Amino acid sequence: MTDAGILYLLGGPDDAIYRYDGVTGHLDITARGATFDRVVGAGAYAAGRESGLTLLRWNGNTEDVGCGSGRPERSPSGACVSYGTDGVLIQLPGDSVPRQVLPPDWGAESALWSPTANRLLLIRTIRPRPGPGMDPGQSALWVRESDGRLRELYRPPEQGVLGNMRWSPDGKTALVWRKGTTSNSFAADGVETAALLVDVDTAKVVDLGVVMSTQPQWGPDGSLAFIRGGGRATWDNKQLVVRGVDGHERVVAPTDASRVALLPAWDPAHGRLAWISGPSAAGSLSGDGYVDGLGPGQRVAMIDDGTTLSEARCGEGQVVEGVRWSNDGAALLLLCRKPGADARPLELWLYRLADGSSAPLVRGLVSDSAAGGFGFYGAQPSLFSIVAWSRAA
């Protein structure tokens, strides 16, 4: 399908990365045991589970672009950072080899370049988990400035660990999740968890509450769209909230308790907002009818252009489990599911805004193993984490 572009997607039990060519319709394995690190104009970076970084170019060529011996990450400008047993190493464009900027005993457990690679966001272990029990230990959020200065931005009081940090597109704000429990069940219900917005200049912290970690997306005007609501089931207590650059928050959907909203996605060309909408099953952990596309499984994509709401659907009786815009706002990529006994099969469909038509691109693959399915324990795969799309780059 020529207007589909090129897709790289995670699928299969071995977390393989497949390449789909819209011109030929071919689907080929490109890498195994990797996850997407970042998408840039040239292609997608695929990070190994422990180390290694590969640029998957849209034309199908691959290039080793790692630095150091740890887990690497690259900025859009090409700066590389690696963190692991050898400490934190960076390699800027023009550098022939990486250089160490933090020793192993500093305790860096994660590192992320700002969009312009002038700052490095770091999570540092302050106190490892002491052993069995409910104390998860303690970590803190730091920033390394371009001149090498280090500043602590936030440390959970007494105990709590941080993870899944992200930069805002303007490089002014960090988004990070705090977890204060060792129980995955408690964390799935939102107990002792919160998403935090941290102003990197002032270290001011805003607690957004219980937020699904795969959901937040920054819009073209700097607004942040996210899903707020505790509970491990995605069909209960989930609201779409937009926080403006002025700090004002508004609930976009649902308008009443009969529905839930999931997986917001911004149109980068026109500022429209899309999300997944479905019936609520308040208080239910069984999800009756979910895998059959009934009850809480009757999900569609909603599009808000500021004045009207419209729907986008997959064809052939599929339900919609995810949505993503093309860069020009002319098409949507839909994550579709065939109702039935298995909640995991992944199908990708292309939805054209001009005529409302939809067509299948890839069938028969399952979601990434880390997500484990749809709907329960907050395991809602995101098209931003399991698919790299040339039309969205």
164: pLDDT strictly greater than 50? yes
Task: Place 378 in a pLDDT band, splitting at 50, 70 and 90.
Answer: very low
65-68 long-range Cβ contacts below 8 angstroms, 24+ apart: 67/91, 67/98, 68/98
Residue 16 belongs to some domain of the structure: no
What span, in angstroms and rounded, lies between the C-alpha atoms of 230 and 208?
12
Q: Please report the pLDDT score of residue 358 as a whole number.
A: 93
Residue 160 belongs to some domain of the structure: yes
Task: Place 104 in a pLDDT band, splitting at 50, 70 and 90.
Answer: very high
Q: Please report the pLDDT score of residue 110 as a whole number.
A: 96
If asked whether residues 261 and 372 sit together in one domain, one would say: yes
Lowest mean pLDDT among 72-76, 94-98, 265-269, 375-379: 375-379
Residue 40 belongs to some domain of the structure: no
If asked whether residues 230 and 347 sit together in one domain, one would say: yes
Q: What is the CATH number of the domain that holds 136?
A: 2.130.10.10
What span, in angstroms and rounded, lies between the C-alpha atoms of 224 and 273?
11
Q: Please report the pLDDT score of residue 374 as a whole number.
A: 55
If asked whether residues 220 and 203 sit together in one domain, one would say: no
If asked whether residues 223 and 314 sit together in one domain, one would say: yes
Q: Is 98 exposed, middle or buried (0-12, 13-18, 19+ CB in 10 A)?
A: buried
If asked whether residues 345 and 249 sit together in one domain, one would say: yes
If asked whether residues 125 and 218 sit together in one domain, one would say: no
If asked whether residues 251 and 362 sit together in one domain, one would say: yes
Tell me the C-alpha to C-alpha distance, in Å, between residue 122 and each of 71, 83, 145, 206, 329: 13, 10, 11, 18, 34
If asked whether residues 316 and 294 sit together in one domain, one would say: yes
Residue 46 belongs to some domain of the structure: no
pLDDT (tens digit per residue) in 317-326:
899 999 999 9
Q: Please report the pLDDT score of residue 366 as a whole number.
A: 60
Name the residue type at position 40.
V
Mean pLDDT of 261-268: 96
Determine what percent of the chain is predicted with pLDDT higher than 70. 94
Q: Please report the pLDDT score of residue 14 as a whole number.
A: 65
What span, in angstroms and rounded, lies between the C-alpha atoms of 387 and 19?
10
Which residues, other chains included, contact 95 with Cβ-Cβ below 8 Å and sequence gap of 6+?
A: none
Task: Place 344 in a pLDDT band, splitting at 50, 70 and 90.
Answer: low
Of the candidates 344, 333, 341, the one whose C-alpha atom is nearest the C-alpha of residue 374 is 344
365: pLDDT strictly greater than 90? no
Last residue in a domain, options 164, 190, 210: 210
Name the residue type at position 381.
P
Alpha carbon distance, N-terminus to C-terminus of the chain: 18
Name the residue type at position 351.
Y
Residue 344 belongs to some domain of the structure: yes
Higher per-residue pLDDT: 384 or 326: 326
Residue 191 belongs to some domain of the structure: yes
Q: What is the DSSP string of 114-169?
A: -TTSS-EEEEEEEE---SSSS---EEEEEEE-TTS-EEEEE--SSSBEEEEEEE-T
List the domain range (segments joined by +) for residue 219. Answer: 214-393
Mean pLDDT of 360-384: 65
pLDDT (tens digit per residue) in 115-130:
999 999 999 999 999 9
If asked whether residues 138 and 252 sit together in one domain, one would say: no
Mean pLDDT of 255-280: 95
Q: What is the CATH number of the domain that holds 227?
A: 2.40.128
Last residue in a domain, options 175, 210, 245: 210
Task: Place 371 in a pLDDT band, splitting at 50, 70 and 90.
Answer: very low
Tokens found for residue 132 = 């069995």
Main-chain phi, psi angles of 3, to 5 degrees: -85, 5
Last residue in a domain, options 210, 244, 267: 210
Mean pLDDT of 177-194: 88
If asked whether residues 202 and 220 sit together in one domain, one would say: no
Q: How many domains does the chain have?
A: 2
376: pLDDT strictly greater than 60? no
If asked whether residues 258 and 138 sit together in one domain, one would say: no
Q: Please report the pLDDT score of residue 121 as a whole number.
A: 98
Q: Please report the pLDDT score of residue 286 as a whole number.
A: 73
pLDDT (tens digit per residue) in 279-316:
998 877 777 788 788 888 899 999 999 999 999 999 88
Residue 284 belongs to some domain of the structure: yes
Q: Please report the pLDDT score of residue 76 as a whole number.
A: 86
Supply the DSSP symbol for 2.
G
If asked whether residues 305 and 354 sit together in one domain, one would say: yes
Strands 345-352 and 331-337: antiparallel
Q: Please report the pLDDT score of residue 35 as a whole number.
A: 84
Tokens found for residue 65 = 């672009």
pLDDT (tens digit per residue) in 7-62:
999 876 667 899 999 999 999 999 888 888 889 999 999 988 777 899 999 999 99
Residue 193 belongs to some domain of the structure: yes
Higher per-residue pLDDT: 368 or 357: 357
